[in-house]
Structure 1
Amino acid sequence: MSFRQAVGAATGAALLLLTAPAAAHALDEALVPAAAAIPAAPVAAAESVTVDTAGKLSVDGTITLSGTYRCSGATGPVFVSSSLVQGGGNVRHGIGGTRAVCDGAEHRWANTARLDTTAFAAGEAQVEATLMELRPGFLGLPLPHFHATSQRQVMLAQA
């Protein structure tokens, strides 16, 4: 096969791939002409995760962060994770994980972790909370699906 033939074959294949979705859509519309009459699914309740303005730091290095979350329509397990950084550092420390219930209602979460007592001190810190679902994916392997994330400056107080 010459170079010109190879380029022509590749171009033809690319055009076929580019036009296939439009052709499939047109076929769907021809087969289901009343599709426009089907009402849209109701919009899911807003999904969110918040972080409280204060965190607790005990003398043994145990840190507790908390907040609220809301989610719905989960097909796999959902968790609220949180992380903490202080003093302009580059290293985020994971602070626990809580199993979430995605029923559309607002719930409280609280995560706790015991870190080196010298890692953090009372004062300002940056917290990030994430509401993440593990959905079944290719060959049943769980894949992450992020429902919501939030960052907030908090005050770590000695507990």
Structure 2
Amino acid sequence: MRLHSALAAALGAVALLCTAVGPATAAADPAETVTVDPTATLAADGTVTLTGTYRCTAGTGPVFVSSSLSQRDPRVRHGIGGSGARCDGAEHRWQNSGTVSSEALRSGTAHVQATLMELRPSGIVPLPAFHAVADQDVTLAQA
């Protein structure tokens, strides 16, 4: 479980980095997409679950779907986990979950950013390469 938590924290940090870098660096290949489903769930313990689809064609490094959520104040974004992606040209489902302080979110409208991002080898440190980005308002519903 600790490895899962560490991976989720790392992917959440990447999601926040993706927010800072922004969609301007995203690849222009129209065959690569990421979508966000219009409804997300919020459990009583603060666990948020986001879902959607993605499609990518090739990657030289590990590829992930990262996601973040904001509500009320767009400057405050919560990283909501990350999941591995398979770039084979087919459409796949993704699901990310993460726990946020139960006081931070409530049912209602929220904004999600999902990013299909690859960590490409580049010298000593892999650098992010963006395949697709989706920004979408969703309904955050009690689970």
Same fold (TM over 0.5): yes
Structure (1/2) with the larger strand percentage: 2
Structure 1 equivalent of residue 136 of structure 2? 152
- Specify the code of the residue in structure 1 equivalent to 2:38: T
Query: Among residues 89, 94, 114, which one is paired with 2:79 in the alignment?
Result: 94
Larger Rg: 1 or 2? Answer: 1
What are the superposed Cα offsets for residues 34-76 of structure 1, whole Å, 9 maximum, x if unpaired? Answer: xxxxxxxxxx770000000000000110000010000011010
1:52 aligns with 2:52: no
What are the superposed Cα offsets for residues 134-158 of structure 1, whole Å, 9 maximum, x if unpaired? Answer: 11112x4211100000000000000
Q: Which has the higher contact order (CA 8 A, sep 6+)?
A: 2
- Conserved? CA contact 1:61–1:115, under 8 Å: yes
Structure 2 equivalent of residue 118 of structure 1? 103
Aligned equivalents of 2:100 and 2:73: distance in 1? 18
Structure (1/2) with the larger helix percentage: 1
Unaligned ranges ≥5, structure 1:
1-43
Structure 2 equivalent of residue 142 of structure 1? 126
% identity of equivalent residues = 59
What are the superposed Cα offsets for residues 78-110 of structure 1, whole Å, 9 maximum, x if unpaired? Answer: 000000000134111100000000000000000
Instruction: Provide the aligned length of Structure 1 versus Structure 2.
Output: 115
Unaligned ranges ≥5, structure 2:
1-28
Runs (4 or more) in structure 1 with deviation over 2 Å come to none
